[in-house]
A and B are shown apart, each in its own frame.
Chain A
Amino acid sequence: MLLHVDGDSFFASIEQSVKPYLKGKPVVTGKERNIVAAASIEAKKRGVTRGVTLWDAKKMVPDLVVLPTDYETVSLFSKRMYDIVRRYTPVVEEYSVDEAFADLSGLRRYFHSSYKAIAAKIQNDIHAELGITVTLGIAPTKTLCKIATDKGKPAGLVFIHRSKIDEALLDVDIEDVWNIGPATSALLRKYGIRTALQFKQKPEEYIRKLLTKPGIHTWQELNGIQAIEFAEEKTSYKSIGKSKTFTPPSNDKEFVFAQLIKNIENACMKARRYHQGAKNITIYLRTKEFRGLGIEGAVERVTAYPNELIDAVRTMFEHIWKPGYYRATGVFLSNLQPLNPIQPTLFENPAKLIRYTKLYGAIDELREHYGKHAVHLGTSLHAQKIQHLYSRGDIPVRRETLVKGETKRKRLPIPMLQVRLR
């Protein structure tokens, strides 16, 4: 039996947890981007949803509390949430910053309690120790777990027993099923499949003719057959993605390119930390209208050095660039392989490769001492500057309430309660 743990309004709830005076108030995060990144339960009740502009949100809720995203504190909470789940089972997949999957199979005897009781303990521990609520879904497969969690939002605990799958799927629209995208759901609707139950009850042969592998996996999962693998420890990544939104949107080609290169520097940095390099790279741009443009390319050999990628990326960028306003750029490094030792290609000068290895070894060390972008490519200079152009109130409070010995760059890895005790 599998468990899905999903933080309720995660980013906003964390703000309420460390700033108790915000309890019960409508709170959103995303100030630095001018859109709602996360809304507290109170804000959601009054119609604020993720992705709306702050301007619209404030019109809906005049007393809205708007905060910048505090990624550092969110990450601390995220790690603790996974750790609490790990007290109960070693098989935990850190699916996203606010979600985890866990395998509860075989634990009933060990804990002398039912799946539901084990899940309730996890839910209680998280609430007591982190001051946030999570919704839990228990079911035979990941896809069914996700449906259970959707039903339990917020703060609920829903168990879909193998014998009760049909009942659970009856009122679930096909487009609300995990991994069913808009294109697939539109296709299925053409064939009269509107609910998850209708989809589940079609014979496998029928689905095989209609959909490709991921669709078939979803069908199997809805039928209680585990088809989506469990990705446990993230000690090495299958792909590394980095993207960043900038405000206001820009039509300056070199600025947008600089943003892209900065993402590549960040992604490479992360890859090097896990001693991985990429053979494939995907870049994408997002327009002001949220339209995405992307392109994938391959490099000759595994690399995690931006200098080696920059020429290829420029060509790819020229290929997809169209005049207009852009709000975000992103990059995916995929086909990751161990970075050391790299096998130089036939016509390559191995000395150059050794130089890069040494150079980035030094850059990573400088980063340890002086912060993330102590040394960067000239191309991303444009994007480096903007980071310091925070407007007032765009910096999370935690960064401005340092304790003695902490610096602007480095803080203690413990959440800080932001309250004036009486």
Chain B
Amino acid sequence: MSPNAGWPSPAEEELLDTISFDEWLIESSTFMVKIQNDAMQNAGIFSDDIVIFRRGQKPKSGDIVIADVDGEWMMRYYQIEDGRPVLYPANGHYEAVRPEELIVIGVIRSVIRKY
């Protein structure tokens, strides 16, 4: 014990039930990616935002996903319609994609914008 060890701070114990920003944001398989377009702007994701997504997570209808469509990577809403996946943008200038083949890379977990 070092000579200046005293009583533990009473605040210390009360903070045991808190989590750090790291724990809150980073999960075991999260990756980040810089957004460089406005395809999801009506969902509140803009160019220069940092998106944190969970790689390998199975998507549910309504999730925002990162998907590989024929070697083209995109971020879109994922919807199942008539048993088939459709990728919807959140911007009227883009069109919905109904891919023949689709690989979902991961599901978006958070969006970070640092001013």
* Residues B31 and A420 in contact, CB atoms below 8 Å apart: no
Taking residues whose C-beta sits less than 8 angstroms from the other chain, chain B's interface range is 20 to 34
* Residues B28 and A401 in contact, CB atoms below 8 Å apart: no
Chain A residue, CB-CB nearest to B40: A421
Cα of A417 to Cα of B75 in the assembled complex, Å: 13
* Residues A80 and B28 in contact, CB atoms below 8 Å apart: yes
A129-B55, A403-B114 as given contacts; A417 in contact with B36, CB under 8 Å: no
User: What residues of chain B lie closer than 8 Å to A84, measured between beta carbons?
Assistant: 28
* Residues A421 and B56 in contact, CB atoms below 8 Å apart: no
* Residues A421 and B29 in contact, CB atoms below 8 Å apart: no
Cα of A18 to Cα of B106 in the assembled complex, Å: 13
* Residues A128 and B32 in contact, CB atoms below 8 Å apart: no
B90 at the interface (CB under 8 A from A): no
A20-B68, A84-B28, A404-B114 as given contacts; A414 in contact with B75, CB under 8 Å: no
* Residues B114 and A421 in contact, CB atoms below 8 Å apart: no
Chain A residue, CB-CB nearest to B35: A421
Q: Mark B6-42, 1 if CB is under 8 A from A, else 0.
A: 0000000000000000000010111111111101000
B111 at the interface (CB under 8 A from A): no
Q: Mark A15-55, 1 if CB is under 8 A from B, else 0.
A: 00010110100000000000000000000000000000000
Question: B residues bordering A, Cβ < 8 Å?
Answer: 26, 28-37, 39, 50, 52, 55-56, 66, 68, 71-75, 105, 114
20 A-B residue pairs with Cβ-Cβ distance under 8 Å, sorted by A, are A18-B31, A20-B73, A21-B71, A128-B55, A129-B28, A129-B29, A403-B114, A412-B32, A413-B26, A415-B31, A416-B31, A416-B33, A416-B34, A417-B33, A419-B73, A420-B73, A421-B33, A421-B75, A422-B37, A422-B73
| Given A125-B56, A403-B32, A415-B32, 9 new contacts (CB under 8 A) | A18-B31, A84-B28, A130-B29, A131-B55, A401-B34, A412-B32, A414-B52, A421-B39, A422-B39
